[in-house]
Structure 1
Amino acid sequence: MSFGDPNNPYGQQQPYGQQPGGQQQGGQPGYGYPQQAPQGVPQQGYGYPQAPPVQGGYGFPGVPTEMPGGVKAARVMLYVIVGLQVIGAIIFALAAVAVNAARNDETLQEDVQFQQLADYSGNALWAIVAFAVLWGVFAVVLAAKFGKGGNALRITTIVFGVITAILGIYPFIVFGLVHTVLAILITVFVAKSDGGAWFNRQQPQH
């Protein structure tokens, strides 16, 4: 008796465990054991699909999860500028106090030209003190927001760096040379591609 082609799903099926000749198969798996998949068909463990490749931070590929080294350096330099602003404010405040004391000197009170110069210098020095304090506060705010700031903070920091570099050249060349160097480095590090990737990254949703 012929059972037809065993590979034909519409043909008559042969009894379990027998080959077309009626002989018992040897070494075949028992009940409940999975059969070997046909050749050419990809196999997956226990029917589960393979896991997708690991992506970048927050589920977006290429998104940095840690602040780049250049951005970290720029933030440190901002804090250094803050310290220099404090030192400069103290120096200019002492100079303003000295000029005011000279104005009150009895031997110089009748010198009109000196009094005018002292008055102008004192006002200018106090204005510089106020600017130094405000600029230092601005630098603190920028540095504190580096962890969560977006592209607007990046642009603001670049503008801050450019203005600081210019002021370091003129009119504060004597006290501003270090400011100029730091400001240029801050601008370069923040404007680099890794800095752009950090500030333009997708922010986590809270």
Structure 2
Amino acid sequence: MSQPYGGGPVLSEMPGITRAAQVMLGVIALAHVIIAGMYGYALSKWDETMAEAGITGDSEAEAFADLGKGVVVFFLGLAAVFAVLGLVLVLQYAKGGNSVRVCSIVYGSFAIVSGIFTIAAYGIGLVVMIIAILLIVFSAKRATADWFRRPRY
């Protein structure tokens, strides 16, 4: 499209590649909700599992069990925070600036790391890693950059 005046045409509709990145971001956020739920379930069964394993009465064994419980609580909190951050980014795609695109790339990088930690959880970690890589690629595309740098009147 050629114009006799400066500047390019203003994008009025989100490009398909950008919409795909937004959907992938939502899928990763949903996966983090599922991961947080799995950690919550593991935490709810923790004391019962430790009692079945015979880790009661010995203070040193209980200290190690409590340490493991603390690690699960940490990962639960981390997954919940990632889910909330992903939701916030998804909601900012329509009206956000270039910082939303940059945050999506960083979020995808952290999602790869969280996918590595949850790779044993029914394969959900592998799915998160693949989608996160695609999120990074789609967020780094020129069409996505143009969408987030468009003028807003």
Normalised by the shorter chain, which TM-score bucket?
0.7 to 0.9
Quick check: 1:74 aligned with 2:21? yes
> Which blocks of at least 5 consecutive residues in structure 1 are unaligned?
1-52
Higher relative CO (Cα under 8 Å, sequence separation at least 6) belongs to: 2
Partner of 2:81: 134
Q: How many Å separate the matches in 2 of 1:188 and 1:62?
A: 24
Equivalence for 2:129: 180
Q: Percent identity?
A: 33
Residues of 2 paired with 1:117 and 1:164: CA distance?
A: 29
**Moved beyond 3 Å, runs of 4+:** 102-105, 111-114
Are 1:191 and 2:140 matched, yes or no? Answer: yes
Please, which runs of 5 or more residues in structure 2 have no aligned partner? none
Structure (1 or 2) with the greater helix fraction: 2
| Bigger radius of gyration among the two | 1
Query: For residues 82 and 160 of structure 1, what CA distance do their matches in structure 2 show?
Result: 10
3-state SS of 2:95 partner: coil
**Superimposed CA distance per residue, residues 122-177 of structure 1 (whole angstroms, 9 cap, x where no aligned partner):** 111111111111100000000100001111111111111112113322x3332421
Aligned residue number for residue 145 of structure 1: 92
Rounded to whole Å, the distance in 1 between the matches of 2:133 and 2:9 is 28
CA root-mean-square deviation:
2.3
CA distance in 2, matches of 1:74, 1:100: 41
Look up the equivalent residue of 2:133 and give its one-letter code.
I
2-structure distance, mates of 1:157, 1:87: 20
